[in-house]
Structure 1
Amino acid sequence: MRIIYLTLYVLFIACSAAWSQNTKRPLNADDYDSWKSVRQTTLSKDGEWVSYEVNPQEGDGQLLVKNPAAARKIVIPRGYDARFSADAKFLVAKVKPQLETVRQAKKAKTKKEKMPKDSLVILNLATGNQKTYGDLVSFSIPDESGLWLAMATKMPEAKKDTTVNKDETDKKAKDRKLKKLKGDLLTLLNMAGSDSVSFENVDEYALSDQGNRVIFTRQMSKDTAVYRGVFEYMFASKKIQTLDTSSKVEVYKNLSLDKKGEQAVWMSSPDSAKADVRRFALVFRDLGKKSNVVVADTVTKGLPQYWAPSEFQKPRFSDDGRRLYFGAAPVGKPSLKDTTMLDEELSRVDVWSYTDTRLQPMQDKQRKEMLEKDYWTYYDVNSRKVIPLANEEMAFVTINYRDNQSFLLGKSFEPYQRSSSWEPGHSDLYWIEASTGKNSLIARDVLGQSEASPAGKYAIWFDERDTLWKLHDHSATTLRKLTEGLNVAFHDEEHDTPDTPDAYGIAGWTKDDKYVLIYDRYDIWKIDPTLKEKPVNLTMGYGRKEKVRLKFLEMREKDDDPAIDLSQENFLWGQWEGDKETGLLSWKSGSEPAIMVKEPYYFSPNSFKKAKNAKVYVFEKGNFAHPNELYYVRDWKNPQPLTNLFAQTDGIKWGSAEQVSWVSSQGVNLEGLLFKPENFDPSRKYPMLVYYYERNATSLYAFRAPAPSRSTINIPYCVSNDYLVFVPDIVYGNGTPGKNAYDCIVSGVLDLVDKGFVDRNNIGIQGQSWGGYQTAYLITQTNLFKAAMAGAIVANMTSAYGGIRWGTGMSRMFQYEKTQSRIGGTLWEKPLYYIENSPLFYADRVQTPVLMMHNDADGSVPWYQGIEFFTALRRLNKPVWMLVYNDEDHNLTKRPNMKDLSLRMYQFFDHYLKAAPMPSWMSEGRTILEKERWDMKFD
């Protein structure tokens, strides 16, 4: 009897497990909108509190505020953009209106100014009490100290003036209209009490980091005149004083305070917003004094002739308040438009010239940048000198607000603007003497990343031509080759394009520029900029020995000292090349790194944050089967999970991810990823989708959220719906990108077919952009694939070579000669390479049904490339469909279009790979008249 009971119990457990599995359902399109993820994590300075948003892809999210040690949780529906007060006693956040409320307002065609607005919530962390304020425009709280908050809200509507009647004269009506003022209601609140003060018709405000004062601009009227001014409100004395006001000033803007809240700056102009050219003066005020100083205007001697402060660059003080940085530019010219002629009488022509440094489409894309271009200048508060740093020939300057460097690094791209169409990335480097603004050339035609050291002693750059880190010491006017003679490579060892290789980068600098820390593929090197000390492998070769790529974990706040302290314990992020696991390592100079945690998860390095005044941390980790969760850490041995997003997978068929390897037809060892459905059965044959884009094997443990497609398949959706998904890495050689893709992808597919669980007769491929090109190429070379979906393809490299990337206005030449397309020469140098790698020239070979997507506002791959391939296949009577989403770019941005693409793409694959019925849009097409049918069904 006991044996019978035991047998029945075992059968019950087995049946329960099978029933539980059978009750799971596959992902569907309805799951997308509600799928939640963590965003915008913030720690209080003492580490006691953490806030984070949990938001669905579409719908109303929530802000969670937790004190993990006290097990306290406060939820603010639709909260976002949260900030803790400096003393960690309050949290301030915005609150969105309900999504449905906004939707109904849009349906009712509500005017923009009448649309539902955000609210502001102030949360008392001790009591949990909340205060809410509506019609929010913006808010600010002090970074360093103080409990006063500044909040701008929409001005309440004035009551209708019933005294106006039809008998009033035009002059009186005009006078009344003149009194109508613009601006917001600025309210200053004490978060700890009920004190508040408000000011009407405020245009702009700036709150000091120390929380001691706020300055603002506002409009006021007297009789029939409108005048403006800059004002200061001091929280301690509760007094307001006028800093600047004039009946001649039309606009005040760009208010700024130094970190101590003791100095202020603003800009003023007598010109109205309708003026063709607005001239600005930059005004400085020591708030302990009673007079203003005009730092710069159109007649300032320190500026070049006909230059003035630029309204498009907000002034900013150095951290110690000794320098005031601002932008200056030539005063613009009035409009050249001929106002004596009608618009239809004017010609409309762009003149393209071989002498243009930038192509006309690039100039058009950069029109706003060109109109608003300005150049860094600074005002020395002590000497009262204005010193230009940049100019039209050397436009880029690296500014370090933390330290008042004696020398700054300047860059000029101007000599290489024309050649950037086919060889981008070149620049000349200059030293700028900060006290005079004089510059001197230190390196010509640099190709590679460059920067100034934090203290301004050195300029450092990676020379991609000879793959060395080089440094210029301005005190000795010396060029030094920092990594010459070292036995490791500091450039990308897996580089496979015709261009020069990038560097692995700089980890940082130690105090006072004593050492620079540089990455090789695995380890971190400490190098003395003077080369008096020999370079040292800081991590003692541990990374290369263990094949783990090590990176410093950047957890400092933006205003913290950027220097790396080698005497302290530091945290490193690592990814192991073999099994692709990631983890955290602790490390002190003079010792090997020690593993703190290494798991089959992806620890997101950008998610790590540290409380400013405590050893408290937060981070995120996840893998393919487990959504990214947020963790709170006081003890690294016991991280505390704050979220349970894994619960979203309950009742849903999911899957697994694994690494696979094979040898290509050319004898190259390759890696890839294979995603399998839940409860994978190796004796069953599964349909398979193949997706590719460069290399993806290192993303083995990355979580992929179910989401509608911007351009590619959603792997969780496909696996949940019983597809295998294979993602192979592709290794390239110069000049044969199509053949390289064929060798790597087809060999990997056949290797999986040989394992017995892939249905060879039902394999599909999908790629977007560069992957779309490879899809188009593959179906001209093999009939292995039953169906193919290709997005934003280049079909004809000969016509694409001389085309324009409309998103930037750049010529596409560089892409073929130097970067991703990997031809390695011009069209006239290697014409056969361009033809042999172009799918269009082999369109007659295609026997695979193709679904294409190419959008009519694609800024990366010209739309006509998709048209060329579609019309060729149509002429050849091949089964081909092309989806063109109107006014959409390279990848879809509008969610309805993303949902539409997802439905059609999976219907296409389900039909060909699972024998699902062909939907009507494929069998019958869709006329232009049916395009506007909002209730279009996909049957």
Structure 2
Amino acid sequence: MRTLLLSMVLYGACMQAGYAQQSTKKSLTHEVYDSWKDVEGDRISNNGNFVLYQINPQEGDGELIIRNYANNASMRFARATKAEFTNDSRFAVFQIKPEHAKVRQLKLKKTKADDLPKDSLAIVTLETNVVVKVPRVKSYALPKIGNDWVAYQLEKPLPAKNEGSKKTGGEQKAPETPAPSTPVRAGGRSGGADPVVGGKKEASELVLRNLQSGKEHRFERVTDYSFSEKGNMLYFVREKQDSLHNAGVFAFNTTSLTATPIDTGRVSYQGLGADKAGEQLAFMATEDTLGTEIRNFSLHLWNSKSSKTQLVADTVSKGMPAAWMVSENGSLRFSDDGKRLFFGTVPRPKHYGKDTTKLEEDKVSLDIWTYKDPLIQPMQQKQQSRDLRRSFLAMYDIKGKRMQQLATLEVPDVYLDAYGQADVALGVSDEEYKQSIGYDTPTRKDAYLIDLKSGKYKQVLKGARGTPGLSPLGRYLYWYEPSDSSWHAMSTKGGADLNLTREVGVPFYNEDNDVPSLPRDYGSAGWVEKDSYLLVYDRYDIWQLDPTGKKAAVNLTDSYGRANDLRLRYDKLDEEEKFIGANATLHLSAFNLKDKSGGYFRDYMGKTVQPEKLVMTPHSYNRLSKAKNSERYTFRRGSFQEYNNLYTATGLDFASAGKLSNANPQMAEYLWGTVELVNWSSSDGIALQGLLYKPENFDPGKKYPMLVYFYERSSDRMHNHRVPAPSASTINIPYFVSNDYLVFVPDIVYKDGYPGESAMDCIVPGVMSLVDKGFVDEKNMALQGQSWGGYQIAYMITRTNLFKTAMAGAPVSNMTSAYGGIRWGTGLSRQFQYERTQSRIGGTLWEKPLQFIENSPLFFADRVETPLLIMHNDQDGSVPWYQGIEFFMALRRLNKPVWMLVYNGEDHNLVQRKNRKDLSVRMAQYFDYYLKGAPAPKWMEGVPSILKGKEYGFELIETAAEAQE
């Protein structure tokens, strides 16, 4: 690795000297990637007086900034993470990570995990800037809507430092319990998940701290903890220590400051779930140890008013299906009114553990594939861990003391209304259609209405192509049906299937759909209160639909979007929002489909006025947030030339918004560039758009080498900021533009059955339209793309010699062999991709054999004259590695210039940063060699396998003329 980094530095210095600009600015080099930072984790306090955000490097230690609007001052904290404000806006709480470099050095020394530095907790009083720090904290939680308290769990004490320390708050200690199925704790905001060691939850000390007084309450041997929503209760689980210190579930009342044992003496407990009032707690318990093959859990319910605990469900409870059991992986949820408890059940496994009756060498390892399998074996294996943890929704009526099983093996997916209080649930099943998953798309589904009083099922949809849902109050079933391109609704009280958009006169399907499959919808904004209206999108506007079908559809945005080529979409500012108010103010994001500018508008429910523009500029806008109790807003704004920084506005005065963050001031030191929208027509006369990136000191009288990168359509991302970063698979546009390249990103539209030809028909005319402008060096142009882009490149170089070289990542080269394979990342058959989705053949291999062959570059390898660099990794789960091998071997046999980079253990796109840095250097060297006449690197001559990991071949090869000089 040291050799790799040294070589990269040498290469970067070479590049800087060789292509120096007549400017004080510098070209980007590979060494500067680590200096680029991102703004993350932004939060605005409920009163709007404070904003916090992190500025984090791509690798290394970040910084948290807390901005005080009252005095316009900022506090900064190194290495802070997982930051939250309290509900009363008086405190900020966060964890502080150890120094990245220090941890790295200790890991290099093989330091044990327990001996590595641990996080600390920081509590900041916002008005006084007083900071309290607590060492060795592994997680914390705040009440969801309560105040005054924070709970945090400490790491295991260091042996030498904590011996003999006094603890308060009780005794008990319990066996370690498995992690609950949901990482976010019910009723609270969690600052970090507890570590799980060897399948066990690690027990340690829990501290409850009063944020006002600083007084603490401590509880030993805690494995799990959770606040009630209001913070009036802290619930926690203790692990068993010995015969005198049993496991148990406990409640601590934060008003009376008293701890109450809820249940003790069982082997382990898990899955805490509290109701909204904090007066009821559900939990699971078992008498079985971790080593037991099948652990039987029982479900219990505690009431704080009666101080009684009752058994809710176990294997013999009335209402529990025969041979079923409570699922330890199911989540626990109360209805908002606290009258129902929802939990998970599961059929009792027949075989759970390993067969210990045979020696390992005597066991047969075998997969049996049959045509009757609902899912093919690879999909079953890929989903096995999920299936082992799957649970089926059940309900307990607390007042009626009645259990009801809702989900079944035949109808495994059951959905509730937003409050869990309706008398109907929605069951959805694709079980009957699983054999066709992969080629019959969208997958068909059946839907059932489940009466929560009688338990009866009523089938209401058969073979629907859309995905049905329930309105917030459960009054309506609704869905978009691709087969008729319409939105539908149905009353859950026995109503008919109503088509809500048939008569509207505008399409609600994706008008840009160019795959041989039914087009999808544009989505929905949600429901208006009392389930009165459903809000859905067309390409431009928002429509208000009456689910009863009695009132005509209303264009809520008054067709303003369509008239102005704007895509208007509702921005949900409250994460807890379950419906849109009947008189609500609507905050809308806006995107101009022609010039790609962005911004925000305001509109109103119940008013026939056109949307009001707040801001519209040549930028991208996103992440709009609002303070809960104030008219303070934050949002992100960026462009190619401007990092996506954090801004703030008051009272929707977005035009004069203030900039909060300045994540990358070093940008001013480097040559950057510009981006512009270009227009041309395909060979078929279709109007197209694309993006042209130009160097900062662009000279129209000069000819520039040009890289052409593409992946379907990208022009809508014109104002997206692109950060200099090592490549996962594609060119880093800022790097190449900074180093005097043009980069062209054309849009592509496709014809069914001719994906390769479609790419040619769109890309080549676009390239030639730029060549005609006189500033493109037509003798030095190259192609680069990954995956679907890689395929199109492989196809194009069998049809044209227009490009001097090309780089294709993970290309499909032989559709006939790829068609019958498996996408190992998902276990899906690859057939669907060729018949109905991205590859766009539109039929099976036996229906359209000639088109499979015509679109496969491998069959035309002898025509290739363009040198090609392939990257295809040996653990690619999306495009089989052998696709790259097939093309490489064909070109090698034909003595065509071809190279293939295979990063060991990597998937479709590179994950490891060291490999990304490596690829970035090799791509730059490769294109510089072919398009700028730079010396070739040694790796292009080859690196013998025996030198793998010792030599990287980054050194540049001197030419004979250079040697003589």
Pairwise TM-score range, normalised by the shorter structure:
over 0.9
Q: Give yes or no for the alignment of 1:70 onto 2:71.
A: yes
Q: Percent identity?
A: 46
Contact 2:63–2:80 (CA<8 Å) still a contact in 1? yes
- d(CA) in 2 for partners of 1:155, 1:58: 28
Q: How much does 1:400 deviate?
A: 3.5
Q: Distance in 2 between matches of 1:67 and 1:517?
A: 38
Cα deviation, residue 636, structure 1: 3.0
Which whole-Å deviations, capped at 9, do the CAs of 1:463-490 have from their partners, x for residues lacking one? 1111111112122431101111221000
Q: Could you report, residue by residue, the CA deviation over 1:814-846 in whole angstroms, capped at 9, with x for unpaired residues?
A: 001110000000000000000000001011111
1:141 match: secondary structure = strand
- Give the TM-score of the pair, scaled to structure 2: 0.91
Give the C-alpha shift of residue 150 in structure 1.
0.7
Q: Which amino acid counterpart does residue 413 of structure 1 have in structure 2?
A: D
Alignment of 1:539-938 (within 5 A): 539-557=557-575, 559-560=576-577, 562-588=578-604, 589-604=607-622, 607-637=623-653, 638-645=656-663, 647-923=665-941, 925-933=942-950, 937-938=954-955
1:423-502, aligned counterparts within 5 Å?
423-424=440-441, 425-502=443-520
1:203 paired residue number = 223
SS of aligned partner of 1:653:
coil
Letter of the 2:877 counterpart: G
Structure 2 CA distance, aligned partners of 1:911 and 1:487?
56
Q: Tell me which residue corresponds to 1:184.
A: 204
State the alpha-carbon separation in 2 of the partners of residues 294 and 119 from structure 1.
Answer: 39
Which of 380, 399, 405 in structure 2 is aligned with 1:382?
399
Unmatched runs of 5 consecutive residues or more in structure 1 = 1-18, 163-179
Does the Cα contact within 8 Å between 1:317 and 1:401 map onto a contact in 2? no
* Separation in structure 2 between the aligned mates of residue 160 and residue 593 of structure 1, nearest angstrom: 64
Q: Distance in 2 between matches of 1:343 and 1:408?
A: 47
* Contact 1:181 1:220 survives alignment (8 Å): no
Q: Give deviations 1:300-343, integer Å, cap 9, x for gaps.
A: 11111111111112212222222211111112224474423211
Aligned residues: 896
Matched, 1:91 2:92: yes
User: In 1, are the aligned partners of 2:631 and 2:652 still within 8 Å (CA)?
Assistant: no
Equivalent positions of 1:35-434 (< 5 A) are 35-158=36-159, 183-222=203-242, 227-246=246-265, 249-335=266-352, 337-424=354-441, 425-434=443-452
Corresponding residue SS for 2:250? strand
AA in 2 matched with 1:929: I
For residues 528-569 of structure 1, what are the alpha-carbon distances to aligned partners after superposition, in whole Å with 9 as ceiling and x for unaligned?
Answer: 111111111111111111111110111112x23x22224233
**Contiguous gaps of at least 5 residues in structure 2:** 1-19, 164-199, 957-965
C-alpha distance in structure 1 between counterparts of 2:454 and 2:48, whole Å: 45
CA contact (8 A) 2:939 2:953 kept: no
Q: Which residue identity does 1:858 align to in structure 2? A: D
Asked whether the 8 Å contact 1:155–1:201 carries over to 2, the reply is: no
Q: Return closer, same or farther for 1:24/1:350 CA change in 2, 3 Å cut-off.
A: same
**Counterpart of 1:333 in structure 2: which amino acid?**
K
Matched residue, 1:537: 555
Give the secondary-structure state (helix, strand or coil) at the position aligned to 2:669: coil
**Counterpart-to-counterpart distance in 2, 1:32 and 1:197:** 46
Cα distance, 1:191 vs. partner? 1.4
Q: Which amino acid aligns with 1:852?
A: I
Q: Per-residue displacement from partner, 1:560-595 (whole Å, max 9, x unpaired)?
A: 3x2222423322111111111111111123111121
TM-aligned CA distance change 1:748 to 1:182, over 3 Å:
closer
The answer to whether the 8 Å contact 2:823/2:878 transfers is yes
Any conservation in 2 of the 1:181–1:219 contact (CA below 8 Å)?
A: no
Aligned amino acid, residue 210 of structure 1? K
Q: 1:90 to 1:507 in 2, by over 3 A?
A: same
Superposition map of 1:504-523 within 5 A? 504-523=522-541
Residues 146 and 212 of structure 1 are in contact (CA less than 8 Å); yes or no, is this contact kept in structure 2? no
Output the TM-score relative to the length of structure 1: 0.93
**Secondary structure of the residue that 1:816 maps to in structure 2?**
helix
Question: Does structure 1 conserve the Cα–Cα contact (< 8 Å) formed by 2:37 and 2:664?
Answer: no
CA distance in 2, matches of 1:239, 1:79: 33
Distance in 2 (alpha carbons) for counterparts of 1:44 and 1:161? 37
Residue identity in the other structure for 2:474: G
Deviation at 1:210, TM superposition (A): 1.2
Cα offsets for 1:376-428 (capped at 9, x unmatched): 11212221211221111111122345351222221101111110021242211
CA distance change for structure 1 residues 243 and 907 in 2, over 3 Å: closer, same or farther?
A: same
User: Matched residues in 1 for 2:202 and 2:688: separation?
Assistant: 64
Supply the distance in 2 between the matched residues of 1:758 and 1:343 (Cα, whole angstroms): 65
Is the Cα contact below 8 Å between 1:904 and 1:938 reproduced in 2?
no
1:193 and 1:729, CA in 2 relative to 1: closer, same or farther beyond 3 A?
A: same
Mapped to 1, the partners of 2:506 and 2:351 lie a distance apart of 58
Letter in 1 for 2:944: T
Single out whichever of 361-370 and 426-435 deviates more from structure 2.
426-435
Letter in 2 for 1:587: D
The Cα of 1:429 is off from its aligned counterpart by 1.3
User: Which whole-Å CA distance do the structure 2 matches of 1:928 and 1:680 have between them?
Assistant: 43
Does the Cα contact within 8 Å between 1:64 and 1:76 map onto a contact in 2? yes
Displacement of 1:112 after TM fit? Answer: 2.0
Contact map agreement 2:472 2:531 (CA 8 A) in 1: yes
- Aligned partners of 2:831, 2:403: CA distance in 1, in Å? 43
> In the superposition, relative to structure 1, how do residues 351 and 226 fare at CA in structure 2: closer, same or farther (>3 Å)?
farther
User: In structure 2, what residue type is equivalent to 1:124?
Assistant: T
Shift of residue 437 of structure 1? Answer: 3.1
Conserved in 1, the CA contact under 8 Å of 2:705 and 2:931?
Answer: yes
Deviation per CA, 1:40-90, whole angstroms, max 9, x where unpaired? 111111111111111111111011111124202111111111111111111
RMSD: 1.8
State the Cα distance separating 1:938 from its structure 2 match: 4.5
Q: Secondary structure at the match of 2:948?
A: helix
Contact 1:267-1:283 within 8 A present in 2 as well: yes
